[in-house]
A = this chain, B = another copy of it.
Amino acid sequence: KEMTVRDALNSALDEEMSADPKVFIMGEEVGEYQGAYKISKGLLDKYGPERVIDTPITEAGFTGIGVGAAYYGLKPIVEFMTFNFSMQAIDHIINSAAKSNYMSAGQISVPIVFRGPNGAAAGVGAQHSQCYAAWYGACPGLKVLAPYSSEDARGLLKAAIRDPDPVVFLENELLYGESFPVSAESLDSSFCLPIGKAKIEREGKDVTITAFSKMVGYALKAAEILAKEGISAEVINLRSIRPLDRPAINASVRKTNRLVTVEEGFPQHGVGAEISASVVEESFEYLDAPVERISGADVPMPYAANLERMAVPQVEDIVRAAKRACYRAAKSVPMAATA
């Protein structure tokens, strides 16, 4: 059976709202318009305007309201039309949500989910294309998830809604319409994925490729190409940016001795930097080649199609980096191709 990421998210919302009357969703166009990207389709009809709440375009205000409702014990899901607009509300995400449980020594927990599309879409320019994984992932008190497939989307969103802590849930607009096979188990309403655990999407032995969100698909494509050239790549779908599954990453690198990190966001202080540093800390002696970072280019997102393509990682970038990691190293690689 197949399911789109959109339907996966929609069904997760539906099931959790049906299971727990404290769960509600708020955001711009989530109700009557059925969601700017139709993720909340049908929910207004089913749960009514008390639980599916259209807001004005006032992110700081409605995010604060959501966080306040979570203080009280409700379980709000705050949709940002895209995460770019979460910057208007970021003070509430960081100072009001992430830090409250700590400052109050556990009195004020904040069971809330902030969700919406994150990162680059197609042709939407510099102000609508930023990836916030590294920023939010830096902040203790937050959990930060980034699904790739439909199972990820279902299992992680349901886990996020049930979680007692504030979760930033980073979707990807370009994945909404993609279909993925789904297991019977994953369609059960009790299905949840563990927060903080990465998934080995593809096993391999020559090089580890870490990725999250849309880039997992690219990494898998790269792995296929690499396989044809005799390089066996292990692809790790991070799923959770915070907590970051350092044990899984290190275990893989200790096996492959090579690492390529992939992300669409800006390079400096990115997820790749963290992974590289963490692996150097834990598994330095295992590394047979320098860690390779593939990331968004270090520029605001340009509109023109050709520049835009250059500004985000392509499959060939991942392939090239993986080859570099392999060829440069001492370990012999079965087949040689010109880089």
Contacts and interface: CB of A to CB of B under 8 A. Distances in A.
A236 to B, nearest CB: 17
Interface residues of A, number: 50
A126 interface: yes
Interface in A295-316: 298-300, 302
Nearest to A290: B284
Interface string A255-271: 00000000001101111
Interface in A221-270: 242, 244, 265-266, 268-270
Contacts of A127: 95, 99, 103
Interface stretch (A12-20, A67-75, A275-283): A275-283
A137 interface: yes
A274 interface: yes
Nearest to A130: B94
A49 interface: no
Q: Ordered nearest first, which 9 A-B pairs have the shortest CB separation?
A: A284-B290, A276-B277, A87-B91, A273-B273, A273-B277, A134-B269, A102-B300, A99-B126, A99-B300
13 contacts: A60-B88, A87-B90, A87-B94, A88-B91, A95-B126, A95-B127, A99-B300, A102-B300, A103-B125, A272-B277, A273-B277, A276-B276, A280-B290
Given A138-B270, A268-B274, A280-B291, 7 more contacts: A87-B95, A102-B299, A140-B266, A269-B269, A276-B281, A277-B293, A284-B287
